[in-house]
């Protein structure tokens, strides 16, 4: 599949910090039609590690789909500001994830990062929690 422009909503969730964690992603084409949904249980992780893992998964999927431009929307203000260069990454656990995300993003034509409130990220949030719930049961 080759798509010139894709929008992805990502979310990472952790019940406890660290605690049981999961990720959720939903991809949309430039026409607004949903392309793909994903969720995955991570085991034990912090919320910020889960958020970055969701981003890394989105970037990897974008490469698989041969996406030219990827518009990332996340309710993680910290991650968005770090990826946009507004905040430095100080957490030792996040530095390698940040560097990997920058490397993956450099392989795409263009990547944008936008912070959205949780209310605009409901599907990804539900998927991340579904990943945790399915593992907990």
| Domains delineated in the chain | 3-136 (3.30.420.10)
* pLDDT value of position 47: 97
Q: Angle at Cα 47 formed by Cα 76 and Cα 33, nearest 5°?
A: 50
Backbone angles phi, psi at 89, to 5 degrees: -95, 115
* pLDDT value of position 1: 64
Residues 6+ apart with CB under 8 A from 26: 8, 9, 34, 36, 37, 38, 123, 124, 127
* Sequential pLDDT tens for the chain (137 residues): 667 999 999 999 999 999 999 999 999 999 999 999 999 999 999 999 999 999 999 999 999 999 999 999 999 999 999 999 999 999 999 999 999 999 999 999 999 999 999 999 999 999 999 999 998 53
Look up the pTM and report it.
Answer: 0.96
H helices of 11-121, in order, are 47-64, 77-83, 95-105
């Amino acid at each position: 599949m080759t798509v010139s422009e894709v929008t992805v909503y990502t979310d990472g969730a952790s019940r406890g910090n660290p605690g049981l964690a999961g990720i959720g992603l939903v991809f949309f084409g430039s026409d607004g039609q949903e392309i793909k949904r994903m969720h995955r249980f991570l085991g034990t992780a912090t919320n910020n590690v889960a958020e970055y893992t969701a981003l890394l998964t989105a970037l990897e999927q974008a490469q698989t789909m041969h996406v030219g431009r990827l518009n990332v929307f996340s309710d993680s203000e910290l991650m968005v500001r770090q990826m946009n260069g507004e905040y430095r990454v100080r957490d030792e656990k996040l530095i390698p994830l940040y560097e990997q995300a920058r490397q993956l993003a450099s392989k795409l034509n263009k990547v944008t990062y936008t912070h959205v409130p949780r209310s605009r990220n409901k599907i990804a949030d539900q998927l991340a929690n579904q990943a945790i719930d399915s593992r907990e049961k």
